[in-house]
Amino acid sequence: IIMSTPEGAGSGMKALEEMLDKKAAAGDGGEEKAESEAGGDAGGDKGEAGAEKAGKPKLTKAERREIQEKQRAAKAAAKGEAPPAPAAKKAAADQPASGGSEKAKEKGEDKAKDSKGSAGLKLQYDDPKAMAKAKRNQTVHRTEVQKKVPWFAHLPQYEREASLSSQLSERAENDIHPEVLKLGLKLADWLIVGGNNRTVAMLQAFSKVVMDYAPPKDHETGADMSRHLDTRLKPMISYLVACRPLSIGMGNAIRWLKGKIAHLPPNQSIQEAKDYICDQIEAYITEKVVFADRIISKHGASKINTGDVILVYARSSSVEATILRAHRDGTKFRVIVVDSRPKLEGKKLLDKLSAAGVSCTYIMINALSYVMKEVSKVLLGASALLSNGHVISRVGTAAVAMMAKQFNIPVLICCETYKFSEKVMLDSICTNELGDPDELLSPALENWRDVKDMKLLNLCYDLTPAESITLVITELGHLPPTSVPVVIREYRKEVTL
């Protein structure tokens, strides 16, 4: 697992880190303050809730609760979910807080169900009302691009934030753990790249959050923690989403973590519960990422024979591991690394492989048809595998896979099972991530913002149709791409519990 923490990451970042460390030292006091504000939402929402209340006719506590229960039951009935546990309501009743904050907390729970059911994007970015509402809750405010590309109006399109750190240093609320703040900044700057790296970094940050969790008075049992921790994590998750949209694997990991927190073994003390959760996170990372990669590289290396010419694209940690493993095993083969602008991630993979002694060729994606004739296998990584067998991966993978299939070359995808998703998608436009458009710049396009009719589009992911894929290599073995829903079903208990 490669975690790159850059040295001298800029004075802004350093200053922020110092400030955050100071805050971490202040530590427990800060956590308590956040808890006393009650309501998992950011402080802004609470103020807003108060203002709303002032405008409406004043109802008694009981009437308000009645209305809320009706609303929640209606929503639950509409969604077909089981009505929320009465324990949650009792917790709300127990809180020694004003009615307004109680309402805010319950609203917060509803919102949690609404917008972040799977920690994914259910927020409609092309709906101005929903956006205005979400903005009030946001921990950081991202500036939208001046020129939105119309085909992607339903997705967030943000400018690269130069002032993200200063926004954070100006925040008064303390509801985001410094580790998570740092992680968000690194993610926003693409300093931590790659599905596995991001997921592991996020889980490790949350592990620290759990360790530093300080319960409010009178709520010092493990059972209480499972309720509060969820609301504690919510703003942190939305902050990470604002920094950079989560990958599907990260979403799955968060859902797993929330499941684990919600189902803590009974009768544990706070410390025991904390240790339990951290151990579980550790086990998840080891099992689902580290060991999975090892097994995948073993399976993958077994597919590489003497004299093979393997084509790889951009940079995938599991593909890298597979090739290095095969090289260590002594197989004589060579690799063609395909790369593309603007990220040029293939160069880094090339450096690693050629340093290890693998014989490499390097081309840009445009030269693909020139080399395709000599390729014997194509090895690609994935960001996620969908239920209909399609693969979400770095943009350009679809073109590589399609071309290989036309030349009748087998396409092998290396993917860990935690990246399997129940979603289905038909093209790369439904869900995608739009990166910073300025990465495409060249001297000719320097003034593109001033030119009225010009837009830049920097797609991060694309969808490879299942027909282009021959085989998926996972830690469970070799599978056809259509087996994804089977795996999800068989291992569903493991994933959500």
Partner 1 sequence: MQAVSENNGSFKSSENPAYAQVEALVVKLKRRQLSTKDVAIETATALRKVISGTKGNNPKKLLEEVRAVGRKLAQASPAELTVGNIVRRVLFIIREEHGNAQQGSSDKVGDGREDGGSSRSTHAPSLGSVLEGDLTLSQNWTEEVPTNFKQLVSAEIVELVNEIEAIKEQVADQAMEHVHSNEVILTCGFSKTTLHFLKEVASRGRRFEVVVAEHAPGLAGHDMAKELAKAGISTTVIPDAAVFAIMARVNKVIVGCYAVMANGGITGLTGLHMVAMAAKHHNVPFVVCTGMYKLSPVFPHDQYSFNELKSPAEVSGGGQDAISRAVRVLNPSSDYVPPELVGLFITNAGGHNPSYIYRLLAEYYSLEDRVL
Report how many residues bind partner 1 under the rule CB under 8 A.
50
Rounded to a whole number of angstroms, the minimum distance from the CB of residue 452 to partner 1 is 7
Give the max Cα distance, the chain. Answer: 79
Q: What do you get for the CA distance between the two ends of the chain, in Å? A: 25
Taking CB under 8 A as the rule, does residue 187 contact partner 1? no
Stretch of 71-79, 234-242, 451-459, 469-477 contacting partner 1, by CB under 8 A = 451-459
Q: Any idea how long the chain is?
A: 497
Give one DSSP letter per residue of 69-107, joined into a string: HHHHHHHHHHHTPPPPPHHHHHHHHH--S-HHHHHHHHH
Rounded to a whole number of angstroms, the minimum distance from the CB of residue 336 to partner 1 is 9
Taking CB under 8 A as the rule, does residue 217 contact partner 1? no
CB proximity list for 58: less than 8 A, separation 6 or greater: none
Among residues 257 and 368, whose Cβ is nearest to partner 1? 368
Taking CB under 8 A as the rule, does residue 324 contact partner 1? no
| Of 160, 255, 455, 478, the one binding partner 1 by CB under 8 A | 455
Among residues 185 and 434, whose Cβ is nearest to partner 1? 434
Taking CB under 8 A as the rule, does residue 425 contact partner 1? no
Among residues 431 and 483, whose Cβ is nearest to partner 1? 431
Taking CB under 8 A as the rule, does residue 347 contact partner 1? yes
Rounded to a whole number of angstroms, the minimum distance from the CB of residue 351 to partner 1 is 8
Instruction: Single out the residue of 368, 386, 387 nearest to residue 378, CA to CA.
Output: 368
Stretch of 26-34, 112-120, 239-247, 336-344 contacting partner 1, by CB under 8 A = 336-344
Among residues 151 and 291, whose Cβ is nearest to partner 1? 151
CB proximity list for 17: less than 8 A, separation 6 or greater: 182
| Residue at token pair 């809730």 | 49
CA–CA distance, 201 with 285 (Å, rounded to integer): 10
Taking CB under 8 A as the rule, does residue 170 contact partner 1? no
The alpha-helical segments, DSSP class H, found in 123-188 are 128-137, 164-169, 178-188
The pattern of x and - marking residues 462 through 481 that bind partner 1 according to CB under 8 A reads xx------------------
Stretch of 40-48, 237-245, 261-269, 396-404 contacting partner 1, by CB under 8 A = 396-404
CA–CA distance, 12 with 162 (Å, rounded to integer): 10
Question: Distances from the Cα of 427 to the Cαs of 152, 282, 340, 401, 462, in angstroms?
Answer: 12, 35, 21, 15, 8
Name the residues that contact partner 1, by CB under 8 A: 149, 151, 340-342, 347, 350, 354, 360-371, 373, 394-396, 398-399, 402-403, 406, 427-429, 432, 440, 442, 444-445, 448, 451-459, 461-463
